[in-house]
Amino acid sequence: MPKDTLTITDNRTGKTYEVPIENGCIRTHALRQIKTGDDDFGLMGYDPAFLNTANCKSAITFIDGDKGILEYRGYPIEQLAEKSSFLEVAYLLLNGELPQQKDLDQFTHLVTHHTLVHENIKSFMDGFRYDAHPMSMLASTVAALSAFYPDAKHTRDERSRRIQITRLIAKMPTIAAFSYRHTMGLPYIYPDNDLSYVANFLTMIKRIGTTTYKVHPVLEKALDVLFILHADHEQNCSTTSVRTVGSSEVDPYSAVSAGVGALYGPLHGGANEAVLRMLREIGHISKIPDFIKQVKGGEGEKKLMGFGHRVYKSYDPRAKVIKRVADEVFEVTGKNPLLEIALELERIALEDEYFVKRKLYPNVDFYSGLIYEAMGFQAEMFPVLFAIPRTVGWCAQWEEMVKDSEQKIARPRQVYTGSGRRDYIAMDKRPSPQK
């Protein structure tokens, strides 16, 4: 009868240890018993960037990166994108099950009626320079919400948690739209409770000089689908940041603002902005072979942005849905001229041995920027458009972490590589630095 254990022999001492295997993992803490002597701290795992370390158990999102599968609470992303709505998916991610109609109505009502922000938030945002990046404004303003809602510190109180989660999901589009209006020098537009989540956001962004602005239903649906695709993606960089910061039991606004910060980076949510800049830099399909040559020849300093993923080693299932959404959007807005370059770039890269060997496929960001641009957003807004729906995932993951009795304040170990102990040297006795 095979046993669910791992037998380890320490060749330094000749001792053998048996470590249980649960869910395809060993607890790295079990390695601590492996010592060379009493004063040995014990064996640790060394895993920079968590390439092979599970940081939590989670029942929210499942990914099989080799097969290109993404499921929220067991439901395939393709089905949710086709049949569900963003707020229904938000309910699912937060509560574990699809809602009954009355539950969805109540959730939608709650989110809709928490979209307003305190008037002082407007003055706060006015303090930013005219050229502030909207993602910086978003991160700071979300952090500032903790000053407006001091009750948020009661993270062990389920009712309080749910109020903050509702506020976060509801106010994110308002703050995002305000940050956009600020950069454009336009007056802020207040939320309208008669509109859907997405239509309300687009109206706060787009309405200028009229009260009759109406969102095109195809664009409303397209953004709703994009929001579904971006709602959660298990333990990515920003979610891990939210969990890590949240593990100190700080309020969720502070934790989510850390997630916004992580998402801002060009290797994460900033990638779609980087894709557009890259497509513009390429400029014409005739320049693609040269560009690919530079990517392959460099020491990693030039990347094919929107390609590759830590988890997906096949086509990102979200990218497939996005390609379909792109066609629908371009029917309304006209084709983005950069699309031709993107399609050709994808075609060449998917046939090129460099990308094939490394299993580099288009990720969610490769086409999303083209859609956002066609909808009239400048590139700086792309990561913001990612942060709005991802707030749902951050909140679901944060609450799961708070409720998980196995979790503690996050505190990794290190392998110290610095100097050994030495005595302080007076300024006039210090040797001059080696050139």
Pick 162 or 303: Cβ nearer ligand ACO:
303
For residue 267, is it left (φ>0), alpha (ψ between -120 and 50) or beta?
Answer: alpha
Pick 152 or 176: Cβ nearer ligand ACO:
176
Does residue 308 touch ligand ACO according to CB under 6 A? yes
**Largest interatomic CA distance in the chain:** 80
- Please give the helix or strand (H or E) that residue 306 lies within, else none: none
Instruction: Tell me the sheet residues that pair with 75.
Output: 72
The residue from 35, 122, 221, 303 that contacts ligand ACO (CB under 6 A) is: 303
Tokens coding 318: 């979200």
Q: How far apart are CA 316 and CA 314, in angstroms?
A: 6
Site for ligand ACO in 363-422 (CB under 6 A): 363-365
Pick 111 or 341: Cβ nearer ligand ACO:
341
Tokens coding 247: 């593990």
User: Taking the complex as a whole, how short is the minimal distance between the CB of residue 116 and ligand ACO, in angstroms?
Assistant: 30
Residue 118 DSSP one-character state: -
- Positions annotated as catalytic residues are 309, 365
Does residue 184 touch ligand ACO according to CB under 6 A? no
The residue count for binding ligand ACO (CB under 6 A) is: 18
The residue from 34, 135, 305, 385 that contacts ligand ACO (CB under 6 A) is: 305
Render the burial of 208-233: b for 16+ CB within 10 Å, e for the rest.
eeeeeeebeeebbbbbbbbbbbbbbb
Displacement of CA 246 from its chain's centroid (Å):
16
Q: Contact, 289 vs 264, CB < 8 A? A: no
Which positions from 250 to 289 touch ligand ACO by CB under 6 A, shown as an x/- string?
-----------------xx--x------------------
Options 184-192, 300-308, 412-420, 425-433: segment touching ligand ACO (CB under 6 A)? 300-308
Pick 65 or 76: Cβ nearer ligand ACO:
65
Options 206-214, 298-306, 370-378, 413-421: segment touching ligand ACO (CB under 6 A)? 298-306
Render the burial of 108-129: b for 16+ CB within 10 Å, e for the rest.
bebbbebbebeeebeebbeebe
Residue 16 DSSP one-character state: E
Pick 252 or 308: Cβ nearer ligand ACO:
308
Sign of the four-CA dihedral 268, 269, 270, 274: positive
User: Taking the complex as a whole, how short is the minimal distance between the CB of residue 165 and ligand ACO, in angstroms?
Assistant: 22
Q: Where are the beta strands (DSSP E) in 47-129?
A: 61-64, 69-72, 75-76
The residue from 229, 278, 292, 304 that contacts ligand ACO (CB under 6 A) is: 304
User: Taking the complex as a whole, how short is the minimal distance between the CB of residue 226 and ligand ACO, in angstroms?
Assistant: 12
Does residue 242 touch ligand ACO according to CB under 6 A? no
Burial of 159 (0-12, 13-18, 19+ CB in 10 A): exposed
Does residue 313 touch ligand ACO according to CB under 6 A? no
| The amino acid at 94 | L
User: Taking the complex as a whole, how short is the minimal distance between the CB of residue 230 and ligand ACO, in angstroms?
Assistant: 8
User: Taking the complex as a whole, how short is the minimal distance between the CB of residue 96 and ligand ACO, in angstroms?
Assistant: 24
Site for ligand ACO in 335-374 (CB under 6 A): 358, 360, 363-365
User: Taking the complex as a whole, how short is the minimal distance between the CB of residue 379 and ligand ACO, in angstroms?
Assistant: 14
Instruction: Tell me the sheet residues that pair with 307.
Output: 362
Pick 253 or 386: Cβ nearer ligand ACO:
386
User: Taking the complex as a whole, how short is the minimal distance between the CB of residue 365 and ligand ACO, in angstroms?
Assistant: 5
Does residue 297 touch ligand ACO according to CB under 6 A? no
Pick 191 or 306: Cβ nearer ligand ACO:
306
Options 22-30, 57-65, 217-225, 305-313: segment touching ligand ACO (CB under 6 A)? 305-313
Q: How far apart are CA 252 and CA 394, in angstroms?
A: 9
Pick 12 or 280: Cβ nearer ligand ACO:
280
Displacement of CA 219 from its chain's centroid (Å):
23
User: Taking the complex as a whole, how short is the minimal distance between the CB of residue 270 and ligand ACO, in angstroms?
Assistant: 8
Q: Collapse the DSSP code of 138 into the 3-class scheme (helix H, G, I; strand E, B; otherwise coil) and give the result.
A: helix
Q: How far apart are CA 190 and CA 169, in angstroms?
A: 16
Does residue 295 touch ligand ACO according to CB under 6 A? yes
Q: How far apart are CA 299 and CA 296, in angstroms?
A: 8
Between the CA atoms of 297, 298, 303 and 308, what dihedral angle is there, to the nearest 10 degrees?
70
Residues of the shown chain interacting with ligand ACO in the complex, contacts defined by CB under 6 A: 267-268, 271, 295, 300, 303-310, 358, 360, 363-365
